[in-house]
Amino acid sequence: MKRRIGARSVSEGACAILALLAISVLTACSSAPTYPQPQGSNGQILVQLQGEPKEGVGKASMREVQDEYSRHRESVEKGKAFERVDYDDLKDVVVIVQFPGPILSDVPLPPPAAGELELDDDGFNRVQLLARKNRPGHKGSATFTLQNLRDTTVHIYGFNETDGSFEGEVSANSLGTIKVRDPGRYDIYCDEDETLHCVLFVTENSYAWIGSSDDDAFFNHVPPGSCEIHVFPPRLPEWSKTINVKAGKRETLKAELTVNNLPKAE
């Protein structure tokens, strides 16, 4: 009798464990992102972001902080500029899909986006920003908004690698719109505070995405043919790859965001 009871107890315990495993699997599946299936004459691109530290290097360590200084009397604000990358939560990763020629008019494109940037006494709230223009050949500029939470007027400006530039002024405690005519990668600075810096990506003949390292960049309705994928993680080397998109197919890529991609000194 005891053996039967024991066997039944083991069986019930096993069933309970299996039930918990099933619930865990269902929960994981329900939380995983779902994407529409590729259809028609266009394809899809899914870029999976994988943040990894350099081999042999552990994760960032936490410091004991008292007031504005660490235990070793090091300035916390100064230390932030040199702290190691938190690969588990890397914000403002930009992914751009570039095509060799103009995108055809019958290919659906996301509407132009206005990036949002906020400035307070601690600085910019983002390290990278994305803004998109209209289709190539159309007049107009890309725009982004600056929410100035400081008590003084700020004048910001930016330059890209091809001598493109922009500038704008936003009054104290106001919201302003900044226009950028030419596409490219811009470094943003501020006249009133030389410590401020942000990177702006303005795209035109391309698909673009911005998010964190624990997300995936998904592009739908991608025209078939060759294109280049560029991934720009903050403070890390660019990752890029050329692929061939096929009609009715999804191309899945794994982009490694790591210092391992730094060029080696010879």
Q: What is the sign of the dihedral through the CA atoms of 73, 75, 76 and 79?
A: negative
* Residue 30: per-residue pLDDT: 47
Q: 38-54+80-101+208-260 — its CATH code?
A: 2.60.40.1120
**67 vs 259, higher pLDDT:** 259
Query: Above 70 in pLDDT, residue 56?
Result: no
The count of other CB atoms within 10 Å of the CB of residue 262 is 10
Q: What are the boundaries of each domain within the chain?
A: 38-54+80-101+208-260, 108-204
What's residue 125's pLDDT? 94
- What is the pLDDT at residue 104? 60
User: Model confidence over 123-179: pLDDT tens digits?
Assistant: 999 999 999 886 555 567 889 999 999 999 999 999 998 888 999 999 999 999 999
**Residue-level pLDDT at 265:** 47
Q: What is the mean pLDDT of residues 251-259?
A: 89
For 63-119, the pLDDT digits (tens) are 555 555 544 445 555 445 444 566 667 889 999 999 887 766 555 666 556 689 999
| pLDDT tens column, 193-224 | 999 999 999 988 788 999 998 889 999 989 99
Q: Is domain 108-204 annotated with CATH 2.60.40.420?
A: yes
Residue 90: predicted pLDDT: 86
* Predicted local distance difference test score (pLDDT) of residue 82: 42
Q: What's the CA gap between 141 and 131, in Å, rounded? A: 10
Instruction: Look at residue 105 in the predicted model and tell me its pLDDT.
Output: 58
212-235 burial string, b = 16+ CB within 10 Å, else e?
Answer: ebeebbbbbbbbeeebebbbbbbe
* End-to-end C-alpha distance for the chain, whole angstroms: 77
Q: Give the confidence band of 52 by pLDDT, cuts at 50, 70, 90.
A: confident
- Spatial strand order of the sheet with 216-222 comes to 216-222, 43-51, 250-257
Residues 1-47 pLDDT 10s: 444 445 455 456 555 555 555 555 555 454 567 888 988 888 999 99
What is the pLDDT at residue 32? 66
CA pair distance 232, 90, nearest whole angstrom? 11
pLDDT of residue 184: 92
The average pLDDT across 183-196 equals: 94
Domains 38-54+80-101+208-260 and 108-204 share a fold: yes
Residue 101 has a pLDDT of 76
Position 73 scores a pLDDT of 47
